Each structure stands twice: as C-alpha cells, then as structure tokens.
Amino acid sequence: MKIAIIDYETGNLKSVSKALELASNNVLKKSNIEIINSTKDLNNFDKVVLPGQGSFKQCFQSLNSIHEILDGLSDFVMVRKKPILGICVGMQLFSSYGDEDGGSEGLGWIEGKVKKINLKDKSLKLPHMGWNNIQITPNSKLLNGIDNDSHFYFVHSFAFDVNEKMHVSATTNYSIEIVSAIEKDNIFGTQFHPEKSQANGIKILENFVRI
C-alpha cells in the first residue's frame, strides 16, 4: 500500500510522515509513505493525506499553485473513490468556503463553511490550543477503538460548520460545540493533530491505513 502526503508548503510534514510510518508499520509491518508536490504520480497511490497549517485562504492558494492538483485530487477522491485524510486546515479545505483572510472557496466535497470560533465564554482564548477531549458518534471508521472523551491536541481559531450532521464523527467543546472529526464515504478529516496526539493519534492513523 502506498500513501502520499501532499506537500503544498504548509503543515508539519516531517511529524505527519513519521507518525504515519509508525502507524503503517504497526498495521502492515512495513511502510510506503511518500511526500509529493506534483499531480503526476498521484494515481499511483492508494491513499492521500492532506495536512494543513495556517490560514484557510493561504492554504487553498498554496494547494492550487501545484499544477492541476485540484483536478487530480478531485479525480482521486470523487471519481476513483480512494481514501483521503485531511488534518487541521487540510480537513477544513474539504468545505465549500472558508471565511478566514477575507474568504476563499474550498474543495466543496463536504457542504459547510469554516468560520471563526465564536466564544461564549470570554475567559477562554483563541487559538483553541492544547489538549481537549472529543465526543465520538457511533460507527466511526476513523475513530474505531478510541474511547469516548479521549484527549487530542488542537491548534486552531476557525472551525468547520458542517451542513449535514451525519458527516460529523466527533465534536469537542470549547465554549461552543466544535466539529473535531468528519467522515463522508472515503473522505476523512480531523480538526486536531493526530501526529501530535501520542498513542490515540497513532491509533487513528492505524485506522486510516486499515480503511
């Protein structure tokens, strides 16, 4: 099995790659993980991981700067139905639109909008940074074997407001309820960083390898 991590000059690629290699070795006893920054070889891979760090608009523009990557990813995910995992802003890019930095369209694979977290508790700060627990919906493939209320590592000020709640596989509370994981057919995403979430994060990556 070959898994590609998309390098579009955002996200902690080294940490994601090391964590994914560990998870793959745990499941398959070997890893075949590659970081790629072109569309050319995309369909030689079985799965894709899309990390993301920074602003929604900047990340979308940076991704779009790779020649024909949007069409390539659309074919990979929406036509060939191969699995993809988005991490943090990588997950947010699956949305229809993001408000950050004056606004930008997203990939449009899961209907909804990425908006700034509207804190009701003014004693809390943005970004939402550090460890927080998640509430898991039943029958999640990505979160299989993860205990409800398990803790994961977050760093973000914007959150994905998903139109169809059936695509939400986990939420977390930070003054308001925040979508922390999504699943739609072969599309998976986490708002938190599994590569920074110790054993629970590796377990999630193992689940993605198995899917």
Q: What is the pLDDT of residues 172-189, one digit of tens each?
A: 999 999 999 999 999 999
Host domain of residue 206: 3-210
* pLDDT value of position 41: 85
pLDDT less than 50: residues of the chain: none
Let me know if 21 is a catalytic residue. Answer: no
pTM to 2 decimal places: 0.96
* pLDDT value of position 12: 83
- Which amino acid is it at 76? F
What span, in angstroms and rounded, lies between the C-alpha atoms of 208 and 48?
10
CATH classification at residue 200:
3.40.50.880
Site of tokens 């599994």: 194
**Catalytic residue (choose from 59, 88, 128, 167):** 88
**Catalytic residue (choose from 128, 156, 167, 193):** 193
Let me know if 195 is a catalytic residue. Answer: yes
* pLDDT value of position 143: 98
Domain count, the chain: 1
Of 80, 10, 102, give the one whose Cα is nearest residue 49: 10
What span, in angstroms and rounded, lies between the C-alpha atoms of 42 and 69?
9
Q: What is the pLDDT of residues 114-134, one digit of tens each?
A: 999 999 998 999 999 999 999
Of 162, 153, 35, 77, give the one whose Cα is nearest residue 111: 162
**Catalytic residue (choose from 100, 183, 195, 206):** 195
* pLDDT value of position 116: 97
Let me know if 59 is a catalytic residue. Answer: no
* pLDDT value of position 205: 98
